[in-house]
Chains A and B, each alone.
Chain A
């Protein structure tokens, strides 16, 4: 699996967009980029995933660069409840050995009032 690099922490003002970067320079062609988050004392929560194209759902947007070596998770209007550790994970979409998620250290996003 490709390794991901994320900043250990970021701050964002409430109501502003939060842009969380992730580097995955060794990503291969069949590997997807997934984002999860973990709010304090809770289990991880799936946010979004993508392969090449930008993706958007009710929670966030995922922007993947054309060379796919990096991506950005965007929370368009951050709220205090978005304070959490955000994990960027690169996984192949299928394959017998690819059942598991490998979590790194993630980025602690703190949304300030």
Chain B
């Protein structure tokens, strides 16, 4: 059983389009995260939700909107995609947001904007 899963694994789209990435965790965790890893391999947090409530919102363009329908899901919707949005997006989860050492990451979604 996959602990943290993401769909799709690869996403190729054109500038200006709107796309969504889905994330699901079956670990029973309360907290979920979205990270972005750019071409230089820097991994940066974007958002975090705890019990469906937003607790971290880094300096991310408003075109990015996370949605958490329930504790097990955290989806990322991106409007008006730009070339600079091309990156690998990782979803993660943890049992307790105060204990960051136990974050479990998904396999990543490679987004390519052309």
Contacts and interface: CB of A to CB of B under 8 A. Distances in A.
Interface of A: 32, 34, 38, 41-46, 49, 85, 91, 93-95, 98-103, 105
Interface of B: 4, 31, 33, 41-45, 48, 50, 55-56, 58, 90, 92, 97-108
A103 B33 CA distance: 14
Interface of A is mostly: loop
Contacts of B42: 103, 105
B43 A103 contact: yes
Contacts of A49: 101
Contact of B48 (A94, A95, A100, A103): A100
Contacts of A34: 100-101
Contact of B105 (A44, A98, A102): A44
